[in-house]
Structure 1
Amino acid sequence: MTEAPFEIIGENRPSPWVLTCDHASNRVPPEINGGDLGLPQSDMERHIAYDVGAAGVTRHLADLLDATAVLSNFSRLVIDPNRGEDDPTLLMKLYDGSVIPANRHADEAERERRLNAYHRPYHAALEKVFTARQHSAILSVHSFTNRLAGRPERPWHIGVLHSPGDGRLALPLIARLMQEPDLCVGDNEPYSGHLKGDAMDRHGLQHGRAHVLIELRNDLIRTPEQQRAWAERLAPILQDTLEAAGLARPEAAAKRPVEIGA
């Protein structure tokens, strides 16, 4: 039986938080080139294939926050669920110095096949969860590599990514994290926090849902012990953020934000 392209954890949990993990897995489904993109295993274990450690952090946070979580079940190299359907990086053929052999000759028909099999069902599952829980605050969990090929090291331990359109969760989260003396916190670092058509734009901004995306440096969350430790550290900070944002009451998270920086 074909595996679902997503996993939902704790669908009926009561927390206002709903967690998402767009790049949870490096799995290549068997119907894609026999389950092999033609890359060495060392590349499939890198950030180019998935967000290293993000799924473990997401699972622990979901338990600690008593929250629902939705995780992808396919590699971002199969098709990237955190990209809009018209994004040129939706189906990558070259990523951080590695050519992806099984994607080199992927045409429009193959792109459409992968959209129908993986990308669209994942987003349909997200929308179903959000629609059923109108009063929710979205936390998207990602990780980033400490160094891209040929680039300097990235110093941030955690980045908080956001758009100017809705800072209800991002701004108080940044302020709260800045109180931690041992953390190097990135405000829209290591890259800009908003890409039109990405998952947070699609499910957060376009619907007026409170949302925030965090990026953890992946060398800090490689082991199960590190993933649990970061989740245990972040859970009370996230609860503080929900309170500071005035979103701890479920109905507050559903209100459309005032435009920030408009």
Structure 2
Amino acid sequence: MVANFGSIAVTTSETFERLGPNSQSPIAACADHAGNSLPPDLALGIGDDVLDQHVAVDLGVRELSQCLAGNHNIPVHVAKVSRLVVDLHRREDDPAVMPKTSDGIAIPGNDAGRLEDRLARFHRPYHAGLENFIEDTEPELFLALHSFTPRLKTSGEKRPWEVGLLYNNDDRAARHAIRLFKNMGFTVGDNEPYSGKQFNATMDRHAETRRIPYLTIEVRQDLVTSAQGQSEWADRIAQVARQTLAALKAN
């Protein structure tokens, strides 16, 4: 059963909310692409249906975050705004931080003149809030939660992995987690479906600079679109995270 999460959110803003305990925790998490909100004063020039597609949100990740917070007492810093408004998992100087297109879908409302406002209104408050979150929770292991589409429309290439672990320079935790997920019987991507050498902005900024071991976990979205899948994957992620932390402490 998935817990009742009505009272979990302890801090909320236009850009993010915190789920779970508002206290120190050995394991904490963030979810940069969990939200699909579009503030009513913004017009992106896209259909409403696009906000429910993978280009706008990591499907299933907000619910996965709720399960981790409610069932496993792991606090999570969760994005509320869609990645089509501004991509919180990109550096400010990345050309894709305010995407013009995504998987073949044009976003005409994202013209260059709006970039500074988007950064000031959403990107910077999200990351300032995440810095405060890390200071409050003081995690010994930090998780970044994502989901990925089984197939990109633009390439048509299938992605066979059920779960991927991404990392840049610090692979201490990822090496343990890759082994643990494989031992569970899953097809695991080692820096797949894309490489953390290129796509690791949040963990580079908030974990690697602090030398906090981290796991960037990408679950294939078709596995976390149902309540059962979300609960089961939260159980697996919590188990792997705790075993990874134990292994790190033992070394």
Listed as ranges, the matches of 1:21-170 within 5 Å are: 21-33=31-43, 37-103=44-110, 106-108=111-113, 110-149=114-153, 150-163=155-168, 165-170=169-174
- Which moves more between the two structures, 233-242 or 19-28? 233-242
Whether 2:182 is the aligned partner of 1:175: answer no
Question: Structure 1 pair 240/123, CA: closer, same or farther in 2 (3 Å)?
Answer: same
CA contact (8 A) 1:177 1:185 kept: yes
Which segments of 5 or more consecutive residues in structure 2 lack a partner in the other structure?
A: 1-11
Which residue identity lines up with residue 26 of structure 1 in the other structure?
Answer: N
Whether 2:242 is the aligned partner of 1:235: answer no
- TM-score calculated relative to the size of structure 2: 0.89
Question: Structure 1 pair 196/53, CA: closer, same or farther in 2 (3 Å)?
Answer: closer
Instruction: Give, in angstroms, the shift of residue 226 of structure 1.
Output: 1.5
Q: 2:95, 2:109 → 1: CA distance?
A: 17
Q: Secondary structure at the match of 1:178?
A: helix
Q: Tell me the percent identity.
A: 38
Listed as ranges, the matches of 1:194-205 within 5 Å are: 194-195=197-198, 198-205=201-208
Instruction: Give, in angstroms, the shift of residue 13 of structure 1.
Output: 4.0
Instruction: Give, in angstroms, the shift of residue 197 of structure 1.
Output: 7.0
Residue-by-residue CA offset, 1:51-93 (whole Å, 9 max, x unaligned): 0011111111123331211001100000000000000110001
Q: 2:118, 2:69 → 1: CA distance?
A: 28
- Which moves more between the two structures, 126-135 or 148-157? 126-135
CA contact (8 A) 1:17 1:65 kept: no
Which segments of 5 or more consecutive residues in structure 1 lack a partner in the other structure?
A: 253-262
Which residue identity lines up with residue 155 of structure 1 in the other structure?
Answer: P
